[in-house]
A and B are shown apart, each in its own frame.
Chain A
């Protein structure tokens, strides 16, 4: 039973071209002479992509196998007391479409948390990091060198104070940690769209990045919920996308982070 072309994992325009030229199923271009015909309306790279995909058999995956994959999934610790255990002990998962959303009043520490993540992800795996670089997408002008420096030195001091023996830690210097953070300042919605759509190129050229972005919270709707806690500004729409939903607040003299929803 050959797979219909429309069900293949190809860009929409390629599928349309194939269907328009009479290729309705994967079996249609398995034969030898199929390649030259395809070259008439597709570029070489596209023909290669199509051929590769056609050869692959659809795989049914068991839940157990997916569970194994999840267990092997890379993650990095935020090194913040409590937050890592809130997230199941492994910190923030990487890959698999993991999006974490942090909501809080202005001044509650969202920027600090983002900067902490940018620094923590760069630590070597032996220290709980992922050895990856970070990209900070700043939509509100909240990124300052001073804040990033504080995050880097603060994390180093925390790790140095917490180490149990006298073995030297393989801690990168603050300068190296700061160098591993790329910053994009975005002023308008269309700039953000352009950046995120080009993000494949960004990752390819900067190799190994984690995306950290800044969103803002808003007050509740006065009419409906005068007593509820603060809501993220895009409300329900964004909450459906994110896999971890955290809120930060100031409580007494300290800060508290609540985990509202997590898929982990």
Chain B
């Protein structure tokens, strides 16, 4: 029995049940992935019955009248949004402005940068903001390298609230040392927590760690498998986004770019990273899955030509850039890093 079939008449239900059994599947979606000629041949129905069955399947699997949304948010929603702006903020209003206001619910944003540029720090900062914004919310934090930076999280929280312990208790932390367990948890455990309906943010730090390198001697086979995994992962995350309206942050690493990037070559090039001969690690497949990308990079103070050389010797200058997003134009700003996180300079 497929959900939605209960509303149909008895003959229609029987017809669909026959189709499903003839195609040896209990998943109605498989029926639609066959072209109509094959569907008819496989089910043995005549033309009219086949056309009718397919129409019923369309109505069940995608009732478009129910799914139609308007670009204009409902006036009630608009009011709600003004009172409690949704989305994930950094806690620093000027930095938020640079990032387009906030990371909207339902978005998949990538944070990419070289190691030690502060990707984890930014994730923690956004986590604290999400928890402070709504006292009953919880955040899921998946980490894949090293230990979870509990001390840094506590330190950051201490700057912004007194109730640090309560805040820390609202973070679901899970570490995964390999890809299979991570994918398994993301398929089964994470939705269980999301179903509580109070998770505005899921952090995956980092997505690249287990996907970058494989031990397959055949390079192309590895890329294909990896691409398939990334696409599945992306689909799963987008389902979370759509169903639970949570924002997902995924950190990505960088890889080296060898040779001159020729004018015609297309690689996922990030302008700010090109100067350092780096590019995002997971390639074009992942770049097409994410909704938005935040780039973090630093320059040595001397190279950047800072006027106040005396103070800045030895310190790096940092930038956070919203490279692309569907909700805000590209923007970048220089930031400083302190115990309470990143702040606009």
Contacts and interface: CB of A to CB of B under 8 A. Distances in A.
Interface of A: 11-14, 16-17, 105-108, 111-112, 118, 136, 140-148, 150, 175, 178-191, 193-195, 197-198, 201-202, 205, 216-220, 222-223, 226-230, 233, 250
B266 A185 contact: no
A13 B46 contact: yes
B239 interface: yes
B38 to A, nearest CB: 13
Name the interface size band of chain B: 35 or more
A17 B48 contact: yes
Interface in B241-282: 241-242, 262, 264-269, 271
Interface of B: 28-30, 32-33, 46-48, 50-51, 54-55, 57-59, 61-62, 64-65, 67-73, 100-101, 104, 106-108, 220, 223, 235, 238-239, 241-242, 262, 264-269, 271, 283-285, 287-291, 293, 323-324, 326-330
A17 B268 CA distance: 55
Nearest to B101: A146
Contacts of B235: 187-188
Contact of A187 (B33, B71, B73, B239): B239
A193 B326 contact: no
B331 to A, nearest CB: 13
A70 B69 CA distance: 34
Nearest to B81: A145
A206 to B, nearest CB: 8
A94 to B, nearest CB: 20
Given A146-B328, A183-B69, A194-B64, 12 more contacts: A16-B47, A17-B47, A106-B284, A108-B324, A141-B238, A141-B291, A187-B238, A190-B30, A190-B32, A198-B62, A219-B283, A227-B262
B61 A148 contact: no
B2 to A, nearest CB: 12
A147 B73 CA distance: 13
A6 to B, nearest CB: 13
Contacts of A136: 71
A228 B326 contact: no
B202 to A, nearest CB: 14
B266 A194 contact: no
Given A107-B323, A190-B32, A179 B262 contact: no
B178 to A, nearest CB: 26
Given A146-B100, A190-B33, A141 B61 contact: no
